[in-house]
Structure 1
Amino acid sequence: MAWFLVEIRYVQEKLDAVRPKHREFLGRLAAEGVVAVAGPLGDNSGGITLYQAEDEAALNAIIDTDPYFLEGVIAERSVREFKPVIGAWVP
């Protein structure tokens, strides 16, 4: 399994209508252990989520089903593999 840091920038006009479905989506993934942490940036211009997936293809299959993606809330998305070394989540 690998960790991925996903950062998105919002289309502000669509954000409020879709946010409840997006949070429900992430909540399910958190319960399954796929999402470690997620939330909006302080200025509400976008958000960051830390996912765990088999590989980037598996991650894309997951994040492409996010209501934000499906309903056009994402103006920009970046995906970077993350290799945690130190911290409470690291075995």
Structure 2
Amino acid sequence: MAWFLVEIRYDQDRYGAVRPRHREFLTGLAEQGVVAVAGPLGDGSGGITLYQAEDREALQAIIDRDPYFVEGAVADHTVREFQPLIGAWVPGQ
């Protein structure tokens, strides 16, 4: 399994209406252990989610079901593989 940090930038005209469905989607993934942490940026321009997935293709399949992406509420996004080593929630710490 790999960790991926996904940062999105909102389409400011669309994201507000989609937000409840997006949060419900991420809550379900958090309950499954797929999402470690997620939330909006302090300036309201976008958000960050830390996912665990088998690989980049599996992550893309997850992202493709996110209401923000499905309903066009994301103006732009980046995906980076992340290797957590230190932290209270990191396994083995």
Return the TM-score normalized by structure 1: 0.98
CA offsets, 1:12-51, max 9 Å, x none? 1101110000000000000000000000000010000000
Superposition CA RMSD, Å: 0.5
1:41 matched to which residue of 2? Answer: 41
Separation of aligned partners in 2, 1:8 and 1:61? 16
SS at match of 1:87: coil
Q: Does 1:3 align with 2:7?
A: no
Separation of aligned partners in 1, 2:64 and 2:30? 16
SS at match of 1:22: helix
CA offsets, 1:46-69, max 9 Å, x none? 000000000000000001110000
Structure 1 residue 88: Cα displacement: 1.3
SS at match of 1:62: helix
Tell me the matched-pair count.
91
After TM superposition, the runs of 4+ consecutive aligned structure 1 residues lying more than 4 A away are none
The letter of the residue matching 1:41 is L
1:61 matched to which residue of 2? Answer: 61
Unaligned runs of 5+ in 2: none
1:80 matched to which residue of 2? Answer: 80
The letter of the residue matching 2:71 is E
Return the TM-score normalized by structure 2: 0.96
Structure 1 residue 89: Cα displacement: 2.0
1:31 matched to which residue of 2? Answer: 31
Structure 1 residue 85: Cα displacement: 0.7
Unaligned runs of 5+ in 1: none
